[in-house]
Structure 1
Amino acid sequence: MRNILKDLLEPFALEAAKKEANRLPSAELVLQLMDIEPKKRALAFWLIDKDKAIQVFEYMRPEQQAELITAMSSGEMNDLINTLEIDDRVRLFGELPAKVTKKVIANLNPIDRTGVDLLLGFPEDSVGRMMNIRYLAVKENITVGLTQELIRESNLKDNQLDLIFVVDNQRYYRGFVRTIDLLKQDSEVLIGELLSTPVVAISAKEENLKAVKLLQDYELPAIPVVDSEGRLIGDVTFDDVIHLVEEEIDESTLSQAGVGNLLSRDKIWSDRLVKGSPWYSIRLRIAFLIVTLLGGMLVGGVIETFEEVIETIPAAAVFIPLVMDMGGNVGTQSTTVFARGMAWEQINLNRYFFYILREARIGLLMGLILGSVSGAIAYFWQGIPNDIPQIGIVVAIALVVVVITGAVLGALLPWVMLKLGFDHGPGADPLITTIKDFTGLWVYFSLATWLIEAV
């Protein structure tokens, strides 16, 4: 499907593309927007109709919102943030750079700033940090008729009016009434007589995942949030916790696959390597390079073992770099594919065995192609002139072996290292290089000995 938002950036097709973009679902426009280079993303966003653009922004993940909003001018940024609910703003502030957040908060009107300060005063993973402070609460001694009038006059969204919360004169929470139930009651009935049971509420200081559990257990559209004394201060809806539900599902899937929280652990390792102390990076990387050093000694021992082959057939030495380098390049490709697949959650951890088989099959096909080409070149280049045509077969088979080995190790070793709790970033390639070089050269010289009968 073509990217309509990219067409918006073309002046000659602007109006037609704009009409077409406004007809697309907001979720589809999010995907198209993120496919545009960051520098042009804000421009494409503001070319959509304003109401549609706001819907698109609400569909985006907080980190995507932050990336988009930091590319905007101060005026555009403030206009967009002013359309968000207080809890959505606070969630966004958690992704923005501290300087940008401070600047945005300073530009809020006093009422909104008070709401933001209230939510930011709670711990990061608490219910209070993500609660909604726009809700409808009535006192228990008012009538159904008056409550219905308050609902009609309210400017809250439909999903914010599913439940009407009930409090006493000191705002202590007493329970809730479903809006739909008010339609069945006489207008003179007191709200306090219609309270649903049991009375469910959650403290603002509780862990946010507990709100998810209450919503699931009681099948309610919202859970009231109370302060330490039991006074109503907000609520939490499914819209507020949907990102937590997604994270919980992801973590559950990873746990069932036996890898725990690998993705977040991998991010921590990456942060320490990129932003942490240089000595941490040196200690970690040099440890794996020492493995490569020892492996190089072992490879040197292989070459020494087959020294007579090289003395008898000097042409065999010509292809040592080819055998060593080709497997290493394939292994690096496989580790890169693995790292990117993990980052984008494209690798199914429950079916990882099939992923390894896929890499082995790819390695076999690449090995056959590269081995055939290299074997033919070796045959005509060194085989015929030196009267050793078998060198072509030796090179071909050796390349098939090292390419398959590199492909499988490139996919398998990072996975094994993660399972064992090691950082695969600086460690996988040195191990692959050592194993691949040793295996490749051993196969190469063994075949040379056997086929050429050099010893």
Structure 2
Amino acid sequence: MEQIIFTLLRQGELDKALAIIKHTVPAETARRLAELEPEDRWTLFRRLGAADARAVFLHLDDEEQAGLMESMGLDEAARFAAHLPLYTLARTHALLPRPFARDLLERLPAEKYQGVRAMLGHHEDTVARVMRGEFLAVQGDIRVEEALQALRDNPLLTDDTGSVLFVIDSGGRYQGYVRLSTLLRAPADERVHRIMQPANGRVTTDDDKVEAARLLQRTNLPVLPVVDAQGVMVGILRFDDAMDVLEEDTSEDVYKKAGVGDLIHATEVVRSEKLTAGGIGYPVKVRLLFLMVTLAGGLMVGGLIDHFEETLAAVIALAVFIPLVMDMGGNVGTQSTTIFARGLALGHIHLGQFFRKHLLRELKVGLSMGILIGLLAGTVAWLWQGAPNGIPELGVVVGVALFFAVTTASVLGFLLPWVMLKLGVDHAPGADPFITTIKDFTGLAVYFLMAGWLIGVA
């Protein structure tokens, strides 16, 4: 679907592309926009109606929201931001260029400006930075009938916020909550404070957001009340926001354990997104660049075979095992790079212990596999092409070449991604082409040199 939209945009069919984008709920529209290049995303977003644009905007990631804000320009962004929730503005603020972010805040209505400034005054790891300021609370001395009417009249009512009614006193201090199901079953003239649950499970604005998210996860509520130092209710932590906090915290821990910090993590996320979504220009450019290495390596291997043409002509049976030597090393290298990438992401590989622990272990694995595969393949080569043709040394040649190819590929599968990571190069599309080139050339060089030495041809 994204490719169809991309094609329509390239053809100037904006209305058709917009029709596809809008023919979904806001969350799906946001997903489709997110998979487009930033300029295409802005081209379609600016053609959405005001209400649709706000609904879609709230479903985009923080980085995508910041990008659209910049694309709008300062004046238009200020008009648009005036209708956004405080928590959205606070999150986006940190991702905008500093002069742009400062000028944008100054153009907001006074009340919204003060609200955003208050949120930004808290540490980024506190509940205040992820809470939402829109909630419904009533005083405990009103009747159930009045509370239900307040729910009906609330323009901000959602499935999450509407299932729980918070209770405050005349000073706005949090007293407890009432579930909507309890409210519906209670007599119409009953006072709310008589059926409310006590004020347990609340958090303050300065509490750690991860701990607050875990508290909400342990409760049976979709939202958690947030109070200030005086106990006045100032916001709510929603379940979906709490899950985002926990996901972010888990990912951060994984990358720290892996030895890659926030900068490398962010870089890897951006690279992965570019390689798997959006336009095809980036993945084609990056992958072709590394495939040129394979192309050059293939030509070098061809030159190597040409150099040993007389050896190959003297012992035709050598040609039978060339694919085996090349393919076995390739498979081992791919296994190693995959294991390295997964271990790095899951925190099982620590870059600080790479040489003395992980690379040494992989060398032992490669040596073990090389010995076993070399013995097995060498025996088969001796029985198949060696003994029948009067060249028993062929088994030794194949066995030693495979031992060298497997061991080399295994070590390179760990070493090259590590080097690329240190150099800041994307190792996802880049490691295998280098491994293929190096192990093919060295493996075949050993193969032909061993053949020339043992079989007695040159």
Tell me the TM-score normalized by structure 2: 0.64
Residue 119 of structure 2 is matched in structure 1 by: 119
Q: Is the 8 A contact 2:330 2:435 kept in 1?
A: no
- Give distance in 2, aligned partners of 1:270 and 1:173: 40
Question: Cα deviations across residues 34-83 of structure 1 (Å, max 9, x unaligned)?
Answer: 33332332111122343333332222211222233322322332243233
Task: Label 1:415 to 1:156 Cα distance change in 2 as closer, same or farther (>3 A).
Answer: closer
Instruction: Answer yes or no: is the 8 Å Cα contact 1:398–1:440 preserved in 2.
Output: yes
What is the deviation of 1:140? Answer: 2.1
- Shift of the alpha carbon at 1:2? 5.0
How much has 1:177 moved relative to structure 2?
Answer: 1.6
Report how far residue 135 of structure 1 moved.
Answer: 1.7
- Identify if the C-alpha distance between structure 1 residues 80 and 223 changes in structure 2 by more than 3 Å, giving closer, same or farther: same
2:286 alignment partner in structure 1: none
Q: Which runs of 5+ in 1 are unaligned?
A: 275-338, 348-365
Read off the aligned partner of 2:260 and give its amino acid letter: R
1:383 aligns with 2:313: no
Whether 1:450 aligns to 2:454 is yes
Which amino acid in structure 2 is aligned with residue 225 of structure 1?
V
Q: Distance in 2 between matches of 1:251 and 1:216?
A: 19
Structure 1 contact 370–400 (Cα < 8 Å) conserved: no
Map residues 57-206 of structure 1 onto 2, 5 A cutoff: 57-158=57-158, 159-197=160-198, 199-206=200-207
The one-character-per-residue Cα deviations of 1:332-371 (angstroms, maximum 9, x if unpaired) are xxxxxxx789945999xxxxxxxxxxxxxxxxxx99x969
Q: Secondary structure at the match of 1:183?
A: helix
How many angstroms apart in 1 are the aligned matches of 2:9 and 2:250?
A: 38
**Within 5 Å, which residues of 2 pair with 1:205-354?**
205-247=206-248, 250=251, 261-262=257-258, 265-268=260-263, 343=272
Indicate if the aligned counterparts of 1:34 and 1:41 stay in contact, CA closer than 8 A: yes
Q: How far off is 1:178 after superposition?
A: 2.2
SS in 1 for 2:221: coil
Query: How far apart in 1 are the matches of 2:270 and 2:457?
Result: 45
Query: Matches of 1:135 and 1:386 in 2, distance apart?
Result: 80
Please provide the CA RMSD for this pair. 4.3
Q: For the Cα contact (< 8 Å) 1:167–1:174, is it kept in 2?
A: yes
Deviations 1:207-260 (A, max 9, x none): 1122222222221021111122322221111233232243356578x5xxxx87
Aligned counterparts of 1:191 and 1:341: Cα–Cα separation in 2: 50
Task: Name which of structure 1's ranges 145-154 and 104-113 shifts more when overlaid on structure 2.
Answer: 145-154
The question of whether the paired residues in 1 share the 8 Å contact of 2:322 and 2:444 is answered with: no
Decide whether the 8 Å contact of 1:126 with 1:207 is kept in 2: yes
Distance in 2 (alpha carbons) for counterparts of 1:391 and 1:29: 61
Check the 8 A contact 1:379/1:390 in 2, yes or no: no
In structure 2, C-alpha distance between the alignment counterparts of 1:62 and 1:341, rounded to whole Å: 13
* DSSP 3-state at the match of 2:117: helix
Q: Equivalent residue for 1:277?
A: none
Query: Aligned with 2:351: secondary structure?
Result: coil
Identity %: 22
**Aligned CA distance change for structure 1 residues 187 and 7 (closer, same or farther; 3 Å):** farther
Counterpart residue identity of residue 109, structure 2: N
Q: How many residues align?
A: 360
Aligned to 2:402: none
Q: Which whole-Å CA distance do the structure 1 matches of 2:215 and 2:269 have between them?
A: 36
How many Å apart are 1:110 and its aligned residue?
0.4
Cα deviation per residue 1:8-28 (whole Å; 9 max; x = unaligned)? 646864444433332124344
Bigger drift between 12-21 and 231-240 goes to 12-21
Is the partner of 2:201 in helix, strand or coil? Answer: coil
User: How far apart, CA to CA, are the structure 2 residues paired with 1:136 and 1:380?
Assistant: 80
Gaps in structure 2 of 5+ consecutive residues: 277-293, 355-417
Give per-residue Cα distances to partners, 1:285-332, cap 9 Å, x unaligned. xxxxxxxxxxxxxxxxxxxxxxxxxxxxxxxxxxxxxxxxxxxxxxxx
How far does the alpha carbon of each residue in 1:132-161 deviate from its partner, in whole angstroms, 9 at most, with x for none?
122222222222233334333332232433
Distance 1:171 1:201 in 2: 14
Partner of residue 426, structure 1: 422
Give the Å deviation of 1:386: 11
Identify the range of structure 1 (153-162 vs 56-65) with the bigger mean alpha-carbon deviation: 153-162
- For the residues of structure 2 that align with 1:77 and 1:265, how far apart are their CA atoms? 35
Shift of 1:198: 6.1
Give 3-state SS (helix, strand or coil) of 2:260's partner: helix
Is the contact between residue 383 and residue 391 of structure 1 (CA under 8 Å) also seen in structure 2? no
| 3-state SS of 1:175 partner | strand
Paired letter, 1:193: R
Deviation at 1:126, TM superposition (A): 0.7
Report if aligned partners of 2:126, 2:206 keep a CA contact under 8 Å in 1: yes
Supply the AA of the counterpart residue of 1:446: M
**Corresponding residue number in structure 2 for 1:322:** none
> Is the Cα contact below 8 Å between 2:175 and 2:198 reproduced in 1?
no
8 Å CA contact 2:226, 2:235 repeated in 1: yes
8 Å Cα contact 2:167-2:176 kept in structure 1: yes
Report how far residue 101 of structure 1 moved: 1.8
TM normalised by structure 1 equals 0.65
